[in-house]
């Protein structure tokens, strides 16, 4: 069964059909008709194969049915060639039944596409109010077709669609083509294009209508990225919807535009929201070698009032750390970036090094900047009763502070590239609701990079204190090293300066660092090897303790769970560490 055709198309003024540029591989499934196309470049062969649509036919299709499908092959091949600028092509179609264990039809198409039609004169411009609009200027500078290139009807149609899309997105709802010409001269292999788009006037946002909601309209307005009277931009509808969803107040949000008001040249907006459940409770249990088994419970109120205030009551019980806290938050002028947080709570910590009971009350202004940095300005009152090395003391401090933090990751569950950096400054002045004068600074960072099919995880931390009376410094403000997230191979908070009796009393300063490599070995399991170093100290003369070892990682649905076997390099022995939590 053979066919051979030649065609030439005269000068045409037409809108060519959009090509079906659906990519397909040369290798077809063994149970489907095999289609082999030769000649021309890869896009041309793919387009011919896609237009023929034979690759989905079963191998054992009856011959009469295959012949019926091939009767229209010439028209489809012609369309496929013309769509990519080949108006003077030739081709031959052959088919045969390949015998074997599973007989299968094979169709061969041999192409001689000929010289392509090239774009000659090309005029694409915008007239009217949108002529000077930067969005059109940028679009016209990046068109997918240019003079001298092979005519591509898909690109031509894309240019038209792009002009309409940009106009609609910017509120030029009356826009239309005042000229739309594609002239193809096959004798000269030349195509001239003229597209002139009259944008018409730009519409503005009209009134914003809100549906029923338990939150005040004044709060909802603070999530808007649009305002009545501003030039219309469709992207601001999406941004507003995203803001309302990210507020955590709503389970569902719809932001819709009304039909354009051509008399007033406005587009009104309606916002409908469905609130999330008012209360949320969380209970859980966990374990780590630092704190032992622990139980936790929290109760959150997502909307105390129409102003959007929230609170959370949280608690934890463990042999090492137990606490009870209350946190109240108020949204700021930009509620996604600003909030005021009032908190108070009690905490007990009982380690081999120290025992303390502390009460705190704090107010903090938390702001997220455009660059992604989170800044926290705070004023904290701390009263702590503590016992270290047999000495029991109590201290009261009123500490203003400031902190910064930022993190980036390519995957929140299992990042292969990312980083985290955080720092804090705090201080107190004796006599101003404080028992001592101090200044304290902390800087901690972590970096994750891909390496040899796995991940390299590094972290480092540095902290320093200046004060007038170390004996009055509460245990929670002293620095220690050792433990799951510090120097593995050593007990929790077991490293630091010691008194004359050899008891660890904590230090003014801290220095820690770690390098780790892990690699998946099966599904969500990985093996890891690490080296940690660090200590707490008071003077420049200090000993940097080191621990090394290996471990297993399980990237569970609730976060990474780590089991480490760590060996202190200077002391011998080993320590098992079990911990969980995000990598960044």
Q: What's the mean pLDDT in 288-307?
A: 94
DSSP 29: P
Dihedrals phi, psi of 15, to nearest 5 degrees: -105, 110
| Model confidence band, residue 6 (pLDDT cutoffs 50, 70, 90) | very low
The per-residue pLDDT for 29 is 44
Compute and round to an integer the Cα radius of gyration of the chain: 35
pLDDT score of 225 more than 50: yes
Query: In what helix (H) or strand (E) does residue 166 lie, and over which residues does it extend?
Result: helix 153-169
Q: What's the mean pLDDT in 309-335?
A: 97
pLDDT score of 501 more than 70: yes
pLDDT score of 1 more than 50: no
Question: Considering the chain, what is the average pLDDT of its residues?
Answer: 91
Q: Is the dihedral of CA 212, 215, 218, 221 positive or negative?
A: negative
Q: Which of 205, 314, 180 is nearest to 268 (CA)?
A: 205
DSSP per residue, 326-341 = EEEEEE-SSTTTEEEE
- Hey, is 175 helix, strand or coil? coil
User: CATH class for domain 118-198?
Assistant: alpha beta
The full set of domain ranges for the chain reads 2-112, 118-198, 204-275, 279-580
The per-residue pLDDT for 7 is 32
Q: Are 481 and 489 in contact (CB under 8 A)?
A: no
| Model confidence band, residue 542 (pLDDT cutoffs 50, 70, 90) | confident
Query: In what helix (H) or strand (E) does residue 168 lie, and over which residues does it extend?
Result: helix 153-169
Mind listing the pLDDT tens digit for each residue in 440-492? 999 999 999 999 999 999 999 999 999 988 999 999 999 999 999 999 999 99
Mind listing the pLDDT tens digit for each residue in 100-111? 778 899 999 999
Q: Which fold, 279-580?
A: Porin (2.40.160)
Q: Which fold, 204-275?
A: Ubiquitin-like (UB roll) (3.10.20)
Could you give the percent of the chain with pLDDT greater than 70?
95
- Quote helix, strand, coil % in the chain, to nearest 5: 15, 50, 35
How many angstroms separate the CA atoms of 286 and 343, rounded?
24
**Fold match, 118-198 / 204-275:** yes
Q: Ramachandran region of residue 412, left (φ > 0), alpha (ψ -120 to 50) or beta?
A: alpha
Close Cβ partners of 476 (under 8 Å, ≥ 6 residues apart): 347, 349, 356, 358, 382, 384, 386
The per-residue pLDDT for 412 is 85
| Model confidence band, residue 280 (pLDDT cutoffs 50, 70, 90) | very high
Could you give the percent of the chain with pLDDT greater than 90?
83
Q: Which of 70, 29, 30, 65 is nearest to 53 (CA)?
A: 70
Mind listing the pLDDT tens digit for each residue in 338-387? 999 999 999 999 998 899 999 999 999 999 998 999 999 999 999 999 99
Q: What's the mean pLDDT in 268-276?
A: 96
Q: Which of 581, 485, 579, 573 is nearest to 534 (CA)?
A: 485
Model-level pTM? Answer: 0.80
Q: What's the mean pLDDT in 159-180?
A: 96
Q: And the tokens for 564?
A: 């480490």
């Amino acid at each position: 069964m053979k066919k051979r055709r030649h065609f030439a198309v005269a000068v045409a003024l037409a809108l060519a059909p959009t090509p079906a540029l659906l990519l397909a591989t040369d290798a077809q499934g063994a149970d489907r008709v095999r289609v082999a196309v030769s000649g021309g470049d890869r896009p041309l062969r793919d387009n011919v194969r896609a237009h023929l649509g034979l690759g989905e036919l079963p191998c054992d299709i009856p011959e009469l049915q295959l012949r019926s499908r091939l009767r229209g092959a010439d028209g489809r091949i012609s369309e496929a060639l013309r769509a990519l600028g080949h108006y003077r092509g030739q081709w031959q179609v052959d088919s045969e039944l390949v015998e074997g264990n599973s007989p299968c039809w094979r169709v061969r198409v041999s192409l001689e596409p000929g010289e392509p039609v090239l774009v000659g004169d090309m005029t694409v411009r915008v007239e009217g109010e949108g002529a000077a609009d930067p969005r059109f200027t940028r679009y016209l500078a990046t068109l997918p077709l240019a003079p001298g290139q092979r005519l591509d009807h898909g690109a031509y149609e894309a240019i038209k669609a792009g002009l309409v899309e940009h106009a609609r997105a910017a509120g030029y709802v009356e826009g239309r083509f005042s000229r739309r010409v594609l002239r193809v001269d096959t004798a000269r292999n030349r195509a001239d294009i003229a597209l002139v788009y009259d944008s018409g006037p730009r519409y503005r946002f009209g009134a914003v209508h809100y549906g029923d909601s338990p939150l005040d309209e004044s709060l909802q307005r603070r999530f808007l990225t649009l305002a009545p009277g501003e030039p219309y931009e469709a992207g601001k509808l999406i941004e507003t919807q995203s803001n309302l969803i990210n507020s955590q107040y709503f389970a569902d949000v719809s932001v819709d535009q009304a039909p354009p008001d051509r008399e007033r040249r406005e587009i009104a907006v309606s916002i409908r929201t469905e609130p999330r459940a008012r209360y949320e409770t969380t209970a859980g249990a966990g374990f780590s070698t630092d704190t032992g088994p622990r139980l936790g419970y929290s109760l959150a109120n997502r909307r105390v009032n129409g102003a959007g205030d929230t609170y959370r009551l949280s608690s934890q019980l463990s042999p090492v750390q137990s606490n009870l806290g209350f946190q109240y938050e108020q949204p700021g002028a930009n509620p996604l970036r600003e909030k005021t947080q009032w908190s108070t709570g009690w905490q007990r910590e009982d380690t081999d090094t120290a025992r303390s009971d502390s009460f705190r009350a704090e107010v903090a202004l938390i702001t997220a900047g455009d660059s992604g940095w989170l800044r926290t300005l705070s004023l904290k009152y701390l009263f702590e009763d503590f016992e270290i090395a047999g000495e029991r003391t109590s201290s009261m401090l009123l500490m203003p502070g400031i902190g910064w933090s930022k993190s980036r990751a390519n995957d929140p569950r299992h990042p292969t590239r990312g980083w985290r950096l955080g720092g804090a400054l705090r201080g107190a002045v004796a006599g101003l609701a404080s028992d001592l004068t101090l200044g304290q600074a902390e800087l901690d960072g972590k970096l994750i990079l891909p390496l040899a099919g796995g991940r390299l995880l590094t972290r480092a931390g540095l902290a320093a204190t200046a004060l007038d009376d170390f004996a009055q410094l509460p245990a929670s403000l002293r620095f220690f090293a050792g433990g799951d997230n510090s120097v593995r191979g050593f007990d929790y908070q077991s490293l630091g300066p010691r008194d004359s009796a050899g008891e660890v009393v904590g230090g003014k300063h801290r220095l820690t660092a770690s390098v780790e490599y892990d690699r998946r070995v099966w599904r969500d399991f990985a093996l890891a090897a690490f080296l940690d170093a660090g200590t707490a100290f008071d003077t420049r003369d200090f000993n940097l303790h080191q621990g090394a070892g290996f471990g297993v990682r399980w990237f569970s649905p609730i976060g990474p769970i780590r089991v480490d076997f760590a060996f202190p390099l200077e002391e011998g022995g080993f320590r098992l560490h079990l911990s969980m939590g995000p990598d960044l």
